[in-house]
Amino acid sequence: MTIVKSGRQRPLLTFAERHILPRPLGETGVNRKEVIEEKAWTLLELVTKELGFIPVDAEFVREGKEYYLNCYIDREGGIGVDQCEEASRMIDPMLDEANFIDVPYTLIMSSPGLGRPLRRPRDFIFAEGKEIEIRTYRAYDGKKEFTGILQSWDKDSVTIRVGEETQTIRRAEMSLIRLALDF
């Protein structure tokens, strides 16, 4: 394996040392997974800002006996393998130095994918003004599938514009919400 390093040297952990490392992993009342994801998200924001990409998500998951830190990035026009590699090479030493994940894991840097559901507030912020697809458990006005421009959202509902009208749907009634697939 060939590792390519940039000739530019910079203090990678100045921000991490001040904002990430002082908080212990076992904070009272905080889920370990959420702490790892929050700290990884902070590093992902630093990396994507420097590279001109958009951070989408950082999730720490266990599949069988293996752990994965999945980082998702994007940019206008889409993200490619070369950009994912560049971001991965930049964040990897930062994660090693910060050392807040106490189990062996695999880092995966990826595009968010076409059918990725909107789950977190940052997903909805990213999707504002864009076309989204909503599927519901029960029919509204005889329909269970809606496509429209995301107008607003909160923890309880989502409002989309369909033509000249708006439709508000409770989040508890949604089986799926994602960016619309446009082929």
Tell me the angle at which helices 32-51 and 81-98 cross, rounded to the nearest 10 degrees.
130
Residues 26-80 have pLDDT tens digits of 444 568 999 999 999 999 999 999 999 999 889 999 999 999 999 999 988 889 9
Number of domains in the chain: 2
DSSP 88-110: HHHHHHHHHHH----S--EEEEE
- Domain, as residue range, for 27: 14-110
DSSP SS3 for 171: helix
Determine, yes or no, domain membership for 2: no
CATH assignment at residue 31: 3.30.300.70
Residues 100-153 have pLDDT tens digits of 999 999 999 999 887 778 888 888 988 899 999 999 999 988 899 999 999 999
Do 86 and 141 lie in one domain? The reply is no
Do 126 and 65 lie in one domain? The reply is no
Answer whether 86's CB lies under 8 Å from 3's CB: no
Query: Rounded distance, CA 62 to CA 149, Å?
Result: 34
Residue among 70, 72, 66, 65 at smallest CA distance from 36 = 70
